[in-house]
Amino acid sequence: MLKTVLQRALCALWKASRLLAAAGLCVGLTGCPSLPRHGENTFGMAFVYVPAGSFPMGCGESDDGCLYDEKPRHLVTIGQPFYLGQYEVTQTQWEAVMGTRPSAFKGDDLPVENVSWNDAQEFIRRLNALENTDKYRLPTEAEWEYAARAGTMTKFSFDAAHAGEYAWYWDNAGGAPHPVGQKLPNPLGLHDMHGNVWEWVQDWYGEDGYARLLALSPGNPLRGTTSLLKDEKGFSMNPSGPPEGTFRVLRGGGWSNDLRYLRSAHRHGYPPGVRRPNVGFRVALSADHAGLKAIEAAEDAAAQALPPGAADAQPGQPAPQAPQIKTPELPQIKAPDFQLPSIPKPQIEVPPIKLQLPSFH
């Protein structure tokens, strides 16, 4: 009975989102279907659309590498869609905005590194000024993990047995970062979310941040069940970390780290003024940024215009480093078979269990 009611509510919400989209409006839980799935700004920085939704954040029982600051796992809702850089910020992009080349390893398409959290904030400030907006920012820690997981609840967004196909890390990086986008993307189409360079995010780091967050969260209806989410104890809407601290959060691991540091849940902290040759960042962008140029249609048209075999490497030309992958639909987190009681917060009309990518026209 309850399951039927929820299904009808979801259907009604989706129909309402289509009407709102037709009227030029967006809704938080379904995103804005009229927005491009891919976009590019005036500096050639590519962005991928990340829909709103909910996910289990932190380290769960299926991960035998959990550390103390990655627990407890808890439900988090990302209330608004956003864009995230498809790649880590490159040295060419940094120089175009900042006029400098601070990286220890030089290369146009290498990720910029040897930049502090404060440096990243200055880059974003100047980028906003150059594009006459205030929409660029670092992702929050919750947004970063949500995008990195892309609907998965395992250690990585890929099968660990094939880690070398998706990430640059200690075993295959050769002691240096590599040009962005050479490895396969995650299910959302984001490259190098695991490995290559660590990525600054917005939040202050707190060892007990998750426990403090849960202390302020409402009770979780899944607590005490035998579901896959049995270690969750609450949920939080758009968490942004502690209000102050000594360290800023780093995510994703880098070329100098073992695979265990690349886990989706792993977190680390550095002082905001520290620079390291294995630390960079990627940029987030509010989904309502009017200056974002849609590139999906142009890419599709160019691909269709190529004759058979034209995409293969020609004599004297280097072979492509990775195949071109079309971004698949975002996988769903399936709820286990149990009766879900009502959530006592009236503003949450849909249980925060599934990620759903809206269709695009």
Q: What is the pLDDT of residue 217?
A: 59
Can you tell me the distance from the alpha carbon of 350 to that of 346, in angstroms, rounded to the nearest whole number? 10
Vertex 114 angle, CA 265 and 171, to 5°: 55
| pLDDT of 145 above 60 | yes
Residue 358 in contact with residue 31, Cβ under 8 Å? yes
The verdict on residue 115 lying in a domain is yes
In whole angstroms, how large is the CA radius of gyration of the chain?
20
- Segment among 1-15, 99-113, 155-169, 279-293 with least mean pLDDT: 1-15
Residue 168 in contact with residue 177, Cβ under 8 Å? yes
Residue 195 in contact with residue 173, Cβ under 8 Å? yes
**Of 109, 183, 98, 191, nearest in space to 150 by CA:** 191
State the average pLDDT over residues 196-219: 83
Q: Which domain holds residue 68?
A: 29-300
**Of 361, 357, 328, 356, nearest in space to 189 by CA:** 328
The verdict on residue 322 lying in a domain is no
What are the distances in angstroms from CA 239 to CA 155, 283, 286? 21, 18, 16
**Of 184, 177, 132, nearest in space to 163 by CA:** 184
- Which is more confident, 119 or 11? 119
pTM attached to this predicted model: 0.72
311 class by beta-carbon count within 10 Å (0-12 exposed, 13-18 middle, 19+ buried): exposed
CATH number of the domain at 243, please: 3.90.1580.10
Q: Total structural domains in the chain?
A: 1
Q: What is the pLDDT of residue 294?
A: 67
The verdict on residue 347 lying in a domain is no
Strands 293-294 and 38-40: antiparallel
Can you tell me the distance from the alpha carbon of 115 to that of 113, in angstroms, rounded to the nearest whole number? 5
The verdict on residue 334 lying in a domain is no
* Angle between helix 91-98 and 117-130 (nearest 10): 60
Strands 53-57 and 267-270: unpaired
The verdict on residue 94 lying in a domain is yes
**DSSP class of residue 257?**
S
The verdict on residue 22 lying in a domain is no
Residue 237 in contact with residue 272, Cβ under 8 Å? no
Q: What is the pLDDT of residues 65-89, one digit of tens each?
A: 899 899 888 889 998 999 999 999 9
**Of 73, 79, 109, nearest in space to 94 by CA:** 109
Q: What is the pLDDT of residue 307?
A: 39
Amino acid at 287: A
The CA-based dihedral angle spanning residues 172, 174, 178, 181, taken in that order and rounded to the nearest 10 degrees: -10
Please give the sequence-ordered ranges of beta strands (E in DSSP) within 20-162, or none if there are none: 38-40, 46-50, 53-57, 74-78, 82-85, 136-137
Share of the chain above pLDDT 90, in %: 53
Number of residues written out for the chain? 361
Mean of all residue pLDDT scores within the chain: 76
* Residue in the structure block whose two tokens are 């289509």: 18
Quickly state the pLDDT bin for 241 (edges 50, 70, 90): confident
Longest CA–CA span in the chain (Å) reads: 65
State the average pLDDT over residues 228-242: 63
The verdict on residue 3 lying in a domain is no
The verdict on residue 361 lying in a domain is no
Q: What is the pLDDT of residue 110?
A: 98
Amino acid at 115: V
